[in-house]
């Protein structure tokens, strides 16, 4: 098999093309979207494996670690992590599956392959061609990749295998000169055309609906005018702030809390610093020398009395701190690159370091303040501790009171129960399941309980921003179609919009038919419709009054000069157009773009072919049970991410 793929003759390439076609068809026939099949691993949801690939487990720890790594590297908003979690798992699954498939084809990843790939991907580990050393290498991988060196090198090894597999699958793919020429013309041909815009919003005033038409429209769209189910509530709220106001912690309680949580009031040594960074990662020797000369110049200016903040704003290449005069803020040990950390903690306050070389670049650090390790005195912490005790005790008392009231709610009036247990009773007029509720706000869990209960039913206690709450259903107004008289304005507005859109389409058809006989200018003049001339536009161009021309580009660029295209719906409008000319690219443009176009097309075809191979492999492995997803563990893991965010 390996020798077959390595052959360069035409027969081999045609056979590979046939294989890829079969793969694509098989993908459509067998692909299970989303990787959600395959059954669970283990039983009773006890396994920590979120998936298995050929019997190899991908654990929740591994998934969470990868999510954390990507979150820090790509700075993903925490609230989006549950949504990215499934994609990240799919990536881990296919990383393992493709690595295994590469081994099945007899491919290998030697230590030299791994070392060469690391050197290509992380040139900052080899300044001036010299390896930084094992310690700095390990520190860099831990900080940049959030993993150990063995883990990182295993990932690189798998990457090497997958890249070799990709080459094996796509090696026979070629791009023809005709394909390159066609792509060049698609990208560079420009059309000049006449066009008329029929905007429904400008035609609404021409729509004069009768009462019968509005009634008929209302009857046909009654579902649009339904009022949602609404429910009236008796809300019981345990406001923790009210409970906290009645609690006065004693000196003994504060002392006891302080001793029990002493670690929270113990602070490590820290230093407040600013820095100037000149990035050198990936620099050529000449560029590195230039950076070193600039660093020396900055150092000289600092020693001559220049302001550090001014030089940081002028020279620093750290986008996050340069505008702030290089201010990093307080840092503790273990947060900085070792050489930078050593200098920062050794500097007297107000002093500046020399130029420090790191894998990222050249740094100069200033120590702005230094704070020794210390324990915050009880006197300083007492206020915060008192508040913590109040909040903790208040939450316990509030939850106990509301639980007792909820247990008795079915047999006693809520206002009396609330008064007895020191709770608030709030009558809530009928609301829908999307309305904010007084004392609650928007709370999907609470709303689900409310709209799942029967009349006079009592909901479970839920935690809300103010404390804890439950409700009793006092009234139910079922969903119903709103009477025509209440929604007449909405009905008329919707009718006008729909009728105007149909009128625009109809006028577009009429105009296009006439334009084919007498030209767009003459036909539009008879219908009192304005006609404009476009500037020369490519397929990706846009018109100021229409927007992107892509919706009509496929038809437009097939026309001959003078021909009228079919009316086209674009951006909520109807466009009628007549081609005037196709302007070919400037002479010499093809020669300048040919190589880049050929490379781009080849990459596109190779990516499509390997994606088909990958999808077919995934579908096969799911169908045969070689890939399995523990959906219960996955849901629990993504649910924990949602709660944390």
Distances (CA, A) of 86 to 118, 137, 332, 641: 28, 31, 35, 12
Distances (CA, A) of 311 to 288, 331, 348: 20, 22, 20
Spatial separation of the C-alpha atoms in residues 3 and 16, rounded to whole Å:
13
pLDDT confidence of residue 441 = 86
Spatial separation of the C-alpha atoms in residues 452 and 286, rounded to whole Å:
71
Which position has the token pair 């399995």? Answer: 628
**What is the DSSP code string of 278-302?**
EE-TT--HHHHHHHHHHHHHHHHHH
What domains are defined for the chain?
A: 2-174+601-644 (1.10.4030), 190-224+487-583 (3.10.50), 230-253+380-478 (3.10.50), 269-372 (3.10.50.40)
The DSSP bridge pattern shows strands 547-548 and 542-543 to be antiparallel
Cα-to-chain-centroid distance, residue 190? 35
pLDDT confidence of residue 86 = 83
pLDDT confidence of residue 87 = 86
pLDDT confidence of residue 81 = 66
Q: How many CB atoms are closer than 10 A to CB 29?
A: 9
pTM of the model as a whole: 0.54
Spatial separation of the C-alpha atoms in residues 569 and 579, rounded to whole Å:
17
Helix (H) or strand (E) holding 480: strand 480-481
CA-nearest of 513, 490, 493, 491 to 501 is: 493
Averages of pLDDT over runs of 10 residues in the chain (645 residues) are 33 39 36 35 53 89 80 63 80 91 93 92 85 87 82 92 94 94 94 97 94 95 92 95 93 93 90 94 83 94 94 92 92 88 94 91 95 92 93 94 95 94 95 90 90 95 93 95 93 96 96 97 96 96 93 95 96 96 91 92 94 94 92 80 57
Q: Tokens for 383? A: 């206020």
pLDDT confidence of residue 644 = 57
pLDDT confidence of residue 470 = 96
pLDDT confidence of residue 284 = 83
SS (H, E, C) 322-365: HHHCCEEEEEECCCCCHHHHHHHHHCCCCCECCCEECCCEEEEE
């Amino acid at each position: 098999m390996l020798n077959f793929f390595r052959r360069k003759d035409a027969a081999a390439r045609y056979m590979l093309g046939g294989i890829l076609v079969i793969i694509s068809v098989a993908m459509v026939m067998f692909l299970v979207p989303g990787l959600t099949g395959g059954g669970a691993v283990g039983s009773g949801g006890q396994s920590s494996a979120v998936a298995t690939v050929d019997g190899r487990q991908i654990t929740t720890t591994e998934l969470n670690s990868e999510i954390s790594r990507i979150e820090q590297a790509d700075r993903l908003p925490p609230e989006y992590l549950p949504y990215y979690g499934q994609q990240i798992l799919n990536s881990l699954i296919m990383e393992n599956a493709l690595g295994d498939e590469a081994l099945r084809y007899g491919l290998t990843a030697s230590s030299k392959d791994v070392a060469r790939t690391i050197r290509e991907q992380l040139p900052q580990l080899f300044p001036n061609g010299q390896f930084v050393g094992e310690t700095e290498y390990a520190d860099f991988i831990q900080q940049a990749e959030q993993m150990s060196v063995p883990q990182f090198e295993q990932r690189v090894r798998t990457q090497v295998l997958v890249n070799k597999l990709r080459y094996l699958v796509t090696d026979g793919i070629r791009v023809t000169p005709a394909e390159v020429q066609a792509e060049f013309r698609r990208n560079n041909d420009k059309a000049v055309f006449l066009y008329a815009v029929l905007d429904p919003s400008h035609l609404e005033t021409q729509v004069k609906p009768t009462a019968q038409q509005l009634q008929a429209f209302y009857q046909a769209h009654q579902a649009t005018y339904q009022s949602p189910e609404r429910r009236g509530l008796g809300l019981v709220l345990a406001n923790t702030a009210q409970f906290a106001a009645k609690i006065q912690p004693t000196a003994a309680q504060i002392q006891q809390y302080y001793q029990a949580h002493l670690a929270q009031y113990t602070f490590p040594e820290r230093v407040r610093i600013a820095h100037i960074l000149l990035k050198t990662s990936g620099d050529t020797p000449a560029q590195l020398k230039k950076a070193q000369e600039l660093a020396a110049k900055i150092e000289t200016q600092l020693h001559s009395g220049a302001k550090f903040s001014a030089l940081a704003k002028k020279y620093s290449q750290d986008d996050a701190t340069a505008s702030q005069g290089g201010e990093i803020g307080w840092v503790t040990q273990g947060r900085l690159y070792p050489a930078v950390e050593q200098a920062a903690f050794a500097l007297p306050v107000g002093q500046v370091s020399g130029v420090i070389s790191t894998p990222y670049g050249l740094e100069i650090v200033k120590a702005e303040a230094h704070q020794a390790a210390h324990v915050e005195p009880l006197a300083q912490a007492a206020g915060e501790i008192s508040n913590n005790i109040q909040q903790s005790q208040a939450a316990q008392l509030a939850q106990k009171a509301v639980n007792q009231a909820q247990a008795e709610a079915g047999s006693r009036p809520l206002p009396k129960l609330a008064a007895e247990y020191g709770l608030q009773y709030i009558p809530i007029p009928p609301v829908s399941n999307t309305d904010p509720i007084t004392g609650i706000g928007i709370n999907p869990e609470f709303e689900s309980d409310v709209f799942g209960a029967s009349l006079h039913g009592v909901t479970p206690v839920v935690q809300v921003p103010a404390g804890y709450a439950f409700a009793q259903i006092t009234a139910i107004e079922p969903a119903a179609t709103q009477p025509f008289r209440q929604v007449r304005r909405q009905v008329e507005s919707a009718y006008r919009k729909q009728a105007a859109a149909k009128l625009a389409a109809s006028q577009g058809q009429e105009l296009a038919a006439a334009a084919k006989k007498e030209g767009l200018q003459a036909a539009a003049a008879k219908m009192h419709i304005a006609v404009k001339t476009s500037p020369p536009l490519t397929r990706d161009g846009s018109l100021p009054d229409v927007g992107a021309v892509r919706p009509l580009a496929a038809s437009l660029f097939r026309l001959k000069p003078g021909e009228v295209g079919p009316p086209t719906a674009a951006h909520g409008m109807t466009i009628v157009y007549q081609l005037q000319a196709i302007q070919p690219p400037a002479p010499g443009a093809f020669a300048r773009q040919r190589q880049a176009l050929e490379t781009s097309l080849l990459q596109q075809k190779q990516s499509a072919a390997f994606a088909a191979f990958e999808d077919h492999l995934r579908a096969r492995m799911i169908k045969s049970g070689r890939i399995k997803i523990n959906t219960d563990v996955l849901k629990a893991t993504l649910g924990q991410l949602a709660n944390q965010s």
